Amino acid sequence: MEEFVGGLWDKLITRTAYRGFPKERVELKEMERIAPIFFRALGGDAGLSIRAGTATTQGARRSWLERIAGIGDKVELAWADEATLYLPLSIDVFPERALNRELYLWLIALAAHDVAPHASWIVRNQQATLATLQALPGLAVRYRKLVDAEIARRPDPAGMELATAAAENTIRAALREPGSIDTFILGREQPAPVPLWLHPEPPTAGGEPRKAGQGEPQQPEGSKVQKDAEARKRRAQSVDVPENKSPFMLLFRAESLFSWAEYVKVDRALDEDDNEDAARAANDLDFLSVANDGKTTSSRIRFDLDLPAEADDDLVLADGIPLPEWDFRKQQMQPAHCSLQMLVARDAEPCDLPQALRGTAKRLRNQFQALAPQRSRLRAQASGSDLDMDACVRYAAEKASGVPVGEPGLYIDSRNQSRDMSCLLLADLSLSTDAWINNSARVIDVIRDSLLLFGEALSATGDRFALYGFSSVRRQNVRYHLLKGFDERYNGTIRGRLAALKPGFYTRMGAAIRHSAAILSKQKSARRLLLILTDGKPNDLDKYEGRYGVEDTRVAIQEARRLGLTPFCVTIDEQAGDYLPHLFGASGYVVVRDAAMLPEVLPRLYVQLTEAQ
C-alpha cells in the first residue's frame, strides 16, 4: 500500500511540476519520413543521418516543484556531428501541437544553414538564423511565431538578479533581432535553454583514445540487428577499470554512500539480457563510462572471427588485388589501400535445386521466357531471305502513279532480337546475415534462396549474368567469392557453390563495388546492371564505419556510373532510408520490408529494372 500511494504521489507531483504540454507533444518518429528529405532539400549535408539525441544537464534554475519532483534538470536540444544530425526525441514545449511540429522543421532548417560552427554559442545561432531566413524567406513568419511563443514561456527577467536579467534580455534580443548581439555575459546563474537554437555545448565522447595494442573488443557485425529501444545518442567516456587490491576495503568513502553506483562492475552473461533498471539508470547519467577488463564475451567472439586456416578456408583464385579507397576526412583517394582475394568454395558439390524452391522456380522460368531472345520477321528490309509482297505491291503502285520513291525495302529478314543485357549481382555475406528473421530462417538462408531463384529465372532469359559475394576483415582482407562468372553456365556446379554459402565477416562495400564494376565494365553489352544485395551499412573493424564507410561506398558508386554501369541496391535494412538516398539516389534502391519475400521480389525487380532501361 505504501508503494502504491508513493507511486500515485510521484505521478501527481511530476505532472504538476512539468512545464511541457504532453497532450500537444510531437514525436520524432512522426517526422522520420519528412525530416531527411527536408534537411537535404534545404542544402544540408546529404551524408548526415537523423537520430534522436540525448538529454543533457541544462544548469538553469528550477522551480521548487521541479526540485521536489526531480525533473527539469535536463533538456533535449539539437546538434550535429560529422555523421549525424541529432534532434529531440519529442517536443512539447509549446501549448500548440502545430508550433511543436514547426519547431522540428525550424531546427532542421537551422542545422542545414549552420554557417559559423566555430563561433561562440550565441553568435553561431544568430548567424545560422540569418542564413536560414535569407535562404528561405518563407520561414520568416513561422520563425516570428516560434520566437513569440518562446519568449512567452521564458522566465521573466524582472524577478532576476541584475546580471542574470541582463543575460536573459540579451538572449531575447538575439531571438528577436538575429545578428544584433556580438557578446554574451553570463550572469550568476545559467540562462534557461533556448529550444530554437542548436546546442551550446554538443555532447561529445570523453576520455582519452585507447592506446594501440590494448585490444579493444569489437562487437561482431551481427549485433547491428539489435536496436536501441529509444534510438538515442548517448555520451560516453573511456575509463580504466578500478583495481581493488584490497578486496575487504570499500572503493568509496562511507560518507559518499549515495554515490557508490557511479561505478559498478556488472557481470552480464549476454548483451541481450534485458534490464529495465539499468536502462532507466542510463537515462539519468550524463556520461556512460565504458571500461575494458579483457574478460568480455565480445573478446571471445572476436577470436572466433579471425580468418580460418588455409586448409579450412575457401580456395584462393587470386590474391592481393590492390584497390583504392576514398578518405572523406582528407578528401583524397588512397591508391592501393585495400587488398582483395578472389575465392571459390573449396568443397562445394554439384547439386539440384532444393525441393522447396522448385515450384517457384518453374513459375519464374515460365514468366522469364517471355524475355528470352526470339526470332522475329522484319518487313521492308533492304535485303533478306524472302520478298515482302506488301512492300512490292506498294512500291509498284507508287512508281506507276509517278510518286517519287527512295530506296525501296522489298524483303523480309528473320533475325534474333537480343536484349543485349549483362547483370552482376553482388551479395553481402557479412556476419550480420547470420541473424534470424521471425525465428523462422536466417538472413543468409534467404539470400541463398534469392540467388538460386535469381539464377533459375535469368537462365531462362539468355541474359548474361554473374553472381558474387563479399565480406571483409580490415582493408588487407576483402574476401570476394566467385559464385558464377559471366563465362560459366548456370548448372549444378553453380547451385553447389550457392548451397555452400555461409556468413562471413564485415562489410567493406566500397572495395567490393569497385572490383565488381571492373568485372562488369569488361562486358560489351549495351546495358549493364550492377545489382547489390545487402542487409546493412558499410562497416569493418578498422576506421571503415559510420561516415567514412558511407562516403567511400558513395564514391565507388559514382565511379561505377562513370564506367557506364547502372548500380542499384536491394536491402532489407529498415534504417536504409537514412543513408541509401545519399549513396544511390532517391530512385537507386529499394527496401524489402519483409525479408522472407526477398527470393520472389528479386527476380521481379530485375524485370522492372531491365524493362525500364
Q: Could you give the CA distance from residue 533 to residue 514 in angstroms, rounded to a whole number?
A: 15
Contact 50, 230 (CB under 8 A): no
pLDDT confidence of residue 388: 81
Same domain membership, residue 340 and residue 397: no
201 assigned to some structural domain = no
Backbone angles phi, psi at 211, to 5 degrees: -75, 150
Contact 506, 535 (CB under 8 A): no
Same domain membership, residue 361 and residue 225: no
Task: Name the DSSP class of 256.
Answer: G
CA dihedral 439, 444, 449, 454 (to 10 degrees): 140
Q: Which amino acid is at 43?
A: G
Average pLDDT per consecutive 10 residues, the chain (613 residues; last block may be shorter):
72 81 92 88 88 85 81 88 90 94 95 91 94 94 95 90 91 94 86 92 56 36 42 57 54 45 48 53 60 50 56 84 94 95 91 92 83 63 78 80 70 68 94 84 92 91 92 94 95 94 93 97 92 92 90 96 95 82 89 87 87 57
Contact 30, 534 (CB under 8 A): no
Cell 532507466 found at: 280
pLDDT in tens, 241-270: 555 555 555 554 444 444 444 444 554 444
pLDDT confidence of residue 557: 96
Same domain membership, residue 427 and residue 408: no
Q: Which three cell numbers mark 82? A: 560529422
Same domain membership, residue 469 and residue 344: yes
**Alpha helix stretches (DSSP H) within 160-275:** 162-176
16 assigned to some structural domain = yes
Same domain membership, residue 121 and residue 244: no
Q: Which three cell numbers mark 215? A: 585490444
204 assigned to some structural domain = no
pLDDT confidence of residue 305: 55
pLDDT confidence of residue 417: 57
- Residue span of the structural domain in which 394 resides: 379-414
Cell 564494376 found at: 517
Q: How far is residue 502 CA from its own chain's centroid?
A: 24
pLDDT in tens, 63-99: 878 788 888 888 899 999 888 899 999 999 999 999 9
Contact 142, 98 (CB under 8 A): no
pLDDT confidence of residue 224: 38
Same domain membership, residue 384 and residue 455: no
pLDDT confidence of residue 152: 93
Q: Could you give the CA distance from residue 460 to residue 45 in angstroms, rounded to a whole number?
A: 44
Q: Indicate the residue among 283, 304, 325 that finishes a domain.
A: 304
Same domain membership, residue 486 and residue 578: yes
* Closest by CA position to 465, among listed 505, 430, 423: 423
Query: C-alpha distances in angstroms, 129 versus 58, 178, 313, 355?
Result: 22, 7, 58, 63
Same domain membership, residue 150 and residue 31: yes
Q: Indicate the residue among 176, 208, 234 that finishes a domain.
A: 176
pLDDT in tens, 195-205: 999 999 887 64
Which CATH number characterizes residue 512's domain? 3.40.50.410
Q: Could you give the CA distance from residue 586 to residue 573 in angstroms, rounded to a whole number?
A: 16
What pTM does this model have?
Answer: 0.72
216 assigned to some structural domain = no
258 assigned to some structural domain = yes
pLDDT confidence of residue 401: 79
What are the residues facing 465 on neighbouring strands?
A: 423
pLDDT confidence of residue 245: 54
380: left (phi over 0), alpha (psi -120 to 50) or beta: left
Same domain membership, residue 123 and residue 12: yes
Q: Indicate the residue among 143, 176, 209 that finishes a domain.
A: 176
Half-sphere exposure of 384 (CA within 13 A, CB side): 20
183 assigned to some structural domain = no
How many domains are contained in the chain?
4
Q: Kindly report the length of the chain.
A: 613
**If 0-12 CB within 10 Å is exposed, 13-18 middle and 19+ buried, where does residue 340 land?**
buried
168 assigned to some structural domain = yes
310 assigned to some structural domain = no
pLDDT confidence of residue 369: 75
**If 0-12 CB within 10 Å is exposed, 13-18 middle and 19+ buried, where does residue 311 land?**
exposed
Same domain membership, residue 465 and residue 387: no
Same domain membership, residue 452 and residue 397: no
Q: Could you give the CA distance from residue 535 to residue 571 in angstroms, rounded to a whole number?
A: 5
Same domain membership, residue 440 and residue 405: no
